[in-house]
Structure 1
Amino acid sequence: MGRPTISDIAAKAGVSKGAVSFALNGRPGVSDATRARILQAAAEMNWRPHSAARALGGARADAAGLVIARPARTLGLEPFFGHLLSGLQAGLSARSVALHLMVVEDTAAEIEIYRRWATEQKVDGFVLVDLKTRDPRIAVLEELGMPSLVLGGPGGHGTLSSVWADDSAAMGTILEHLAGLGHGRIAHVAGLPAFHHTQRRIRAVRNSIKRLGFETAESLPTDFSDTEGAAITRKLLERPIRPTAIVYDSDVMAVAGLAVAAEMGVAVPAELSIVSFDDSLLTRIVHPTLTSLSRDTFALGMRVAEELLATIAEPATRRDTQMPTPHLEIRQSSAAPPGSLGTARPLGKGTKAV
């Protein structure tokens, strides 16, 4: 049996098509008893409103859209996105709103999905992730007039609402910790250089040479994969004068780097300190456990859902929400470098020893 129609429901309930239309759309014109009989017939036939008809009637889609332009294989390894999606879906589900998720290969494909879903009215609003420098998606979403919320900032998101944490300050917490231990040569295994948050972290590393007195502090971009994280780590550790500490932009790359260090016989933390920018389960099940920046990514996803729904309800109101800066969980992978007892500098604000 195909999709049931209004005529099918009318025949089953023994009423006119007009009465069915009134009942299904919650309009007056039929008695309570007739309305109940029609709704019962529709439920028994598993009838659902057609999305196009709902759109023409001005009804909401009760769905939010999230399009991610990253290689699906790389994305599947990233714990951050798993926790974020779980929180986002939980926040939306609590309001009976679905999440439409699509993974595409590039920004052009992402923009095409935005245009198609907006035209078809498949979603009520969008969540935009991986904010880029001079991001072309911002103008497109502004042109479409769709309620949208950017995860990332500050700045760079035009008139769109946003939820963000200060990546520069977060990186500063890591660098201050390493400077306090006495490290002088720092390497940063960064993510994709086009991303806004990657650029902010890179600037924080570059500025730390003068601010914290490092001998060297450099950033090396990657695609966030374990493969590139391992390859960059190997190159760093093969240098005649290698870094005394490496900061990774993701737990996946940090764990890959830890494995390379073990393979090359470089002891962590006796000869090399490792710090990660996320704090998933991965950081606590390896040995040594990894010092890392920690935040509740599930709660972040819940907050994104909350702010998106508020933006959909009041699209003319621009919302800009700053989340707390992640705090540093100090574990076994960071210590004073070889030949140094470190300094007595106290832990910085937001730094936590465990």
Structure 2
Amino acid sequence: MRRTPARRPTIKDIARRAGVSESAVSFALNGRPGVSEATRTRVRRVAEQLGWQPSAAARALSGEGAATVGLVLARPARTLGGESFFLRLVSGVQEVLSAHGLGLLFQVVEDIGAECAVHRRWWAEHRVDGVLVVDPRAADPRPALLDELGLPAVIIGAPDDAGRPLPDHGAISTLWADDTGAMASVVGHLHALGHRRITHIAGLPELAHTRRRMAGLRAEAERRGLPEVRSVTTDYSDTEGAEATRRVLAAPRPPTALVYDNDVMAVAGLAVAAERGVPVPGGLSIVAWDDSVLCRSTHPALTALARDTAAFGRHAAEELVALLAGGPARRVEDVTPQLVVRDSTAPPGS
């Protein structure tokens, strides 16, 4: 059973409590003529008792004010320093918000519990009128919380392991790309080159997209009859990416190809290969998720899954703006990342 959101009081609530019409409430609260001073005083007193505040989002979208959208990253701050994905995503978000007179309130916290606490505080303090939510998780508590609060939101990424969008959660839209299909294209490329031992240096295991990529890798390996394919999880940092690379390359039967969940780890892995005297791509092929200037600037340049991350951010912000303007919640699939083949992949032993 859906819970009734802990919604903010409205003009209708004030009118009912004060025993006047909604238009009289609007006149009184906006300082317009048309009501007596006694009515104006009574309406303002009731508004204060109910904790009513004017909708900053509605004023901003009509050009009369400035509202704020929130974004919380629940990842260890140390892992974000070299992460270009979020910078590009936020640049796209900011482009849309600026055009609509909306500000962005950004915070980094250590875990999902702290993020939920931030959402509750922001809602209670009227700090934000909507939020963007990243890194969906299995059994994610955030959609139910945001639904309870009645806080409009866009979830960036499919929230469950199967890649299905959220069930109905009121004013919550979802925007995602097909991670499973993208992983299938990587495995298909490496298989066509002749690789049979492939290791996926994955990100945080609790994230839904990490789990989907791992599941997609297993499914594609099974379909193609590749028994020596596996995933190793990390925290997305260059340090853990490098350490994971050292471990797998030191195995008795090391992989001939590595697939990294971000560009930072892929570049770190390339450095480890050089450190160990393993030629890329002759002795080891490397593929990175989310193409960036890092992938294009290394030698050899890295084969990578490419998408317009700034456009992904713009699309997420556009969905949230539509919700703030009173539009319905939507489930939107974005463009699937496309594999860009460069010099870091070749047949094994070439």
Which interval holds the TM-score relative to the shorter structure?
0.7 to 0.9
2:331 paired residue number: 320
- Counterpart secondary structure, 2:316: helix
Separation in structure 2 between the aligned mates of residue 207 and residue 133 of structure 1, nearest angstrom:
19
- Counterpart secondary structure, 1:223: coil
1:73 paired residue number: 78
Report the alpha carbon displacement of residue 207 of structure 1 after superposing the two structures with TM.
1.1
Q: CA 1:26–1:171 in structure 2 vs 1: closer, same or farther (change >3 Å)?
A: farther
Separation in structure 2 between the aligned mates of residue 170 and residue 77 of structure 1, nearest angstrom:
23
Separation in structure 2 between the aligned mates of residue 314 and residue 237 of structure 1, nearest angstrom:
54
Matches within 5 A, 1:45-84: 56-61=52-57, 62-84=67-89
Match of 1:258 among 255, 265, 270: 270
Matches within 5 A, 1:112-131: 112-131=117-136
2:342 paired residue number: 331
Unaligned runs of 5+ in 2: 1-26, 35-47, 58-66
More displaced 10-residue stretch of structure 1: 136-145 or 161-170? 136-145
Q: Structure 1, residues 172-225: CA drift from partner, whole Å, max 9, x if none?
A: 111100011110000000001110000100001111222122241100000001
Report the alpha carbon displacement of residue 114 of structure 1 after superposing the two structures with TM.
0.4
- Counterpart secondary structure, 1:303: helix
- Counterpart secondary structure, 1:56: coil
- Equivalenced residue count is 294
1:157 paired residue number: 166
Give the root-mean-square deviation of aligned CA atoms.
Answer: 2.0
Report the alpha carbon displacement of residue 69 of structure 1 after superposing the two structures with TM.
0.6
Q: Residues 183 and 214 of structure 1 are in contact (CA less than 8 Å); yes or no, is this contact kept in structure 2?
A: no
Matches within 5 A, 1:197-276: 197-276=209-288
Report the alpha carbon displacement of residue 109 of structure 1 after superposing the two structures with TM.
0.9
Letter in 1 for 2:202: A
1:88 paired residue number: 93
Report the alpha carbon displacement of residue 155 of structure 1 after superposing the two structures with TM.
3.0
Q: Residues 133 and 156 of structure 1 are in contact (CA less than 8 Å); yes or no, is this contact kept in structure 2?
A: no
Separation in structure 1 between the aligned mates of residue 342 and residue 33 of structure 2, nearest angstrom:
65
Unaligned runs of 5+ in 1: 1-21, 30-51, 340-354
Separation in structure 2 between the aligned mates of residue 110 and residue 209 of structure 1, nearest angstrom:
36
Report the alpha carbon displacement of residue 27 of structure 1 after superposing the two structures with TM.
3.5
Q: Residues 187 and 221 of structure 2 are in contact (CA less than 8 Å); yes or no, is this contact kept in structure 1?
A: no
Report the alpha carbon displacement of residue 25 of structure 1 after superposing the two structures with TM.
4.6
Report the alpha carbon displacement of residue 147 of structure 1 after superposing the two structures with TM.
0.6
Letter in 1 for 2:311: A
- Counterpart secondary structure, 2:96: helix
Report the alpha carbon displacement of residue 119 of structure 1 after superposing the two structures with TM.
1.1
Q: Structure 1, residues 110-161: CA drift from partner, whole Å, max 9, x if none?
A: 1011001111111111111000001011211111111111001143634231
Return the TM-score normalized by structure 2: 0.80
Report the alpha carbon displacement of residue 58 of structure 1 after superposing the two structures with TM.
2.3
Separation in structure 2 between the aligned mates of residue 120 and residue 187 of structure 1, nearest angstrom:
47
Report the alpha carbon displacement of residue 290 of structure 1 after superposing the two structures with TM.
0.2
Q: Structure 1, residues 34-60: CA drift from partner, whole Å, max 9, x if none?
A: xxxxxxxxxxxxxxxxxx9xx834222
Separation in structure 2 between the aligned mates of residue 334 and residue 199 of structure 1, nearest angstrom:
25
Separation in structure 1 between the aligned mates of residue 303 and residue 75 of structure 2, nearest angstrom:
27
Alignment of 1:146 with 2:148, yes or no, is no
- Counterpart secondary structure, 2:247: helix
Separation in structure 1 between the aligned mates of residue 110 and residue 225 of structure 2, nearest angstrom:
41
Report the alpha carbon displacement of residue 248 of structure 1 after superposing the two structures with TM.
0.2
Letter in 1 for 2:236: F
Q: Residues 135 and 156 of structure 1 are in contact (CA less than 8 Å); yes or no, is this contact kept in structure 2?
A: no
Percent identity between the aligned chains?
A: 51
Return the TM-score normalized by structure 1: 0.79
Separation in structure 2 between the aligned mates of residue 137 and residue 213 of structure 1, nearest angstrom:
38
